[in-house]
Chains A and B, each alone.
Chain A
Amino acid sequence: MSKTLFQIVSEVMNIPIEKISDSSGPESIPEWDSFNMFVLLAEIEKEFNVNFSLEETLQIKTVGDFRKKSGVV
């Protein structure tokens, strides 16, 4: 039922899931601007029922950072 992290990134950034890895970030995904980053954050929080602090939010630079901070697999 629940989506994977890559699925959510793929939907929010509107890019194929194959192109996503833990090192994906603003450099490799052109759609990753500060607003889309926040849309992504809000959806990850909802889907995995986690809550990032504002400080954590600002430290997130890649998909892998989301994984580390939220503890999702």
Chain B
Amino acid sequence: MSDEEKLSSYITKSKLIHNSNSEKKIRIAILGGFTLNGLEETMRVKCDEKKIQCTTYVSAYNQYNQEILDEKSQLYKFSPDITFLIIDSRNALGKFFLNPYSISSEERKQFVEDKSNEIINLAKELVKKSKSKLVISNFNIPSYSPIGIGEVQEEFGLHDMIRSLNENIKIGLRSEPEIIIYDLNSFVTAFGEQKVFSYKQFFYGDIRISLDCIPYLAEELIGYVTAVLGLSKKCIVLDLDNTLWGGIIGEDGFEGIKLGDDPVGKSYVEFQHNLLALNQRGILLAINSKNNFDDAIQVIKDHPNMVLKEDNFSCIRINWNDKVVNMKEISDELNIGLDSMVFVDDDPANIEYVSSNLPEISSIHMPTEQCHNNSKSIRAISSFFNVLKITNEDKTRNKMYLEQRKRSELKTQVGNLEEFLKQMNISVHIKNADNFTIPRISQLTLKTNQFNLTTRRYQEQDIRKFSQNSEKIVGCAQIQDKFGDNGITGAYIVNKDNEQQWTIDTFLLSCRVIGRGIEDGILCHIIEKARKDGISQVRGEYIKTQKNQPAENFFKNFGFKKEGDFWVFDTKNQFKKPEHLVIS
């Protein structure tokens, strides 16, 4: 969370957006229970900065009920990909916000229950009537109470009413895959009620989130947009001296660096704890540091207050090489794009050098003058890794990358690729789309760039719809080998065009399992299935992007023939099944 520009500068910039270099598109609707002018302009500017072309719709002032309930409304005509419904405690409680004690506690309970159900139903209606994801705000608990310090003594008082509303909508909407709750209450807490809510602005124009705070709110909401588009980053690349610990190992020595025990050292320990939490939910960590390897690795291995251990890092570059060169090597070794990496360093010169040479990399400057582990830097880092739902693959990703490190070691030992693959004992387990695999299949279509033949992006609801369609086959592959479980790392969607022909709509493989013949194995499985169903030809497309070069010759090498835009395979033809795989 860096300091924001003024709202007026966003409004001015919003008039200059050309969308000339946008790579992604999204349609955003904003429904507000109060004046949210400026939010839309700011979000468009922020999207443009991320090369997202964004089309917006803002509902008329306080018309959210009608917009959602009327299926012919402008909202549904606009057909958003994502809708933000921002309402506050005044909207929810109406006159009881100011006079909650004009009714009994029983009546208050009843009121909250009815109101919760109303909001839950409204949210469910919206996703039922559209193909939009819905981000709905929860309610901020004001410090205000009409009875002052008596508030806490009251049975089911004003604050309890709002707490209960929040709890009810959380529980009521938790199992809705297309609905996400935005924690507006935390937003108000983080910035302070007095800064967020200005009575003057409120009375003047029903502005309930002050103009100063609108850019910060926009920044938070953009996190959902990038998550929906699958633009979240994958890896944090860290400097060591004055980033993971205080001081310089080469000068201060093992005992001299600050890590734990003293006030400065404590902030680094806490920072490492925050990184560990990110690592445990699937964000990769890597090191890019100019140091003597032996000095620095000794700290990582042996320092009693190191929270992060050697195994938490998927890739380590501690040397005197150029940081840009190291960065490229990390990207190659982990098989992730530079645009999936976030570089964290305390030295502004390093940040400047890396980002001017590798503009795709996002970077964060750790402030040395301020407290190291402050909420600002933590928010800034975690905002790069927003995902709507954390899948099991996310939680175990770190382990899988470790196994990957061991695989490459074996590969270097064995030398011969065929022999290496045989020794790997790879098994490919084909699964149908179901409630467990649908979120992951969607995530793969959103995130896979390299081995992806068509790069069609599908949200969870799309995959769910496809899987219920008897004209389509939606499948995925779980890959295991002797080093461990790679999880679901391949997916495909096949359209049954007619009795003779199937078309492969989507075929992708996560980058960490490329180059092991697995893609051929999955394709064999599809063709055998087609044969069994009496289909005479299977065809597919390769849609070229900037990144999917690894998949370019896939159909050709397998034996498909080019016909117009499609690659076609006659199922009567023979094909070679990879022998080193077990497909089940």
Chain A residues within 8 Å of B, Cβ to Cβ: 11-12, 14, 34-36, 38-40, 42-43, 54, 57-58
Contacts and interface: CB of A to CB of B under 8 A. Distances in A.
Contact of B205 (A11, A38, A43): A38
A35 B205 contact: yes
B11 interface: yes
Contacts of A35: 35, 37-38, 205
Contact of A39 (B11, B200, B203): B11
B38 A39 contact: yes
30 contacts: A11-B8, A11-B9, A12-B8, A12-B12, A14-B11, A14-B15, A35-B35, A35-B37, A35-B38, A35-B205, A36-B11, A38-B201, A38-B204, A38-B205, A38-B211, A39-B7, A39-B8, A39-B11, A39-B38, A39-B211, A40-B8, A42-B7, A42-B201, A42-B211, A42-B212, A43-B8, A54-B203, A54-B204, A57-B200, A57-B204
Interface in B192-206: 200-201, 203-205
Interface residues on B, range: 10 to 19
A14 B15 CA distance: 9
A43 to B, nearest CB: 6
Nearest to A58: B204
Interface string B180-214: 00000000000000000000110111010011100
Minimum-distance CB pairs A-B, first 10: A12-B8, A35-B37, A42-B211, A14-B12, A39-B8, A54-B200, A38-B205, A39-B211, A11-B8, A54-B203
Given A35-B38, A43-B8, 17 more contacts: A12-B8, A12-B11, A12-B12, A14-B11, A14-B12, A34-B205, A35-B37, A35-B205, A38-B205, A38-B207, A39-B8, A39-B11, A42-B201, A42-B210, A42-B212, A43-B6, A58-B204
Contacts of B12: 11-12, 14
Contacts of B201: 38, 42
A58 B203 CA distance: 11
Contacts of A40: 8
Interface in B30-63: 35, 37-38
Contacts of B205: 34-35, 38
Contacts of A54: 200, 203-204
Contacts of A38: 201, 204-205, 207, 211
A12 B38 CA distance: 12
B173 to A, nearest CB: 32
B218 to A, nearest CB: 15
Interface in B231-285: none
A34 to B, nearest CB: 6
A40 B205 CA distance: 14
Contacts of B35: 35
A43 B6 CA distance: 8
A57 B198 CA distance: 14
B351 to A, nearest CB: 27
Contacts of B207: 38
Contacts of B15: 14
Contacts of A57: 200, 204
A1 B212 CA distance: 21
A9 to B, nearest CB: 10
Interface in B10-31: 11-12, 15
Contacts of A43: 6, 8
A63 to B, nearest CB: 15
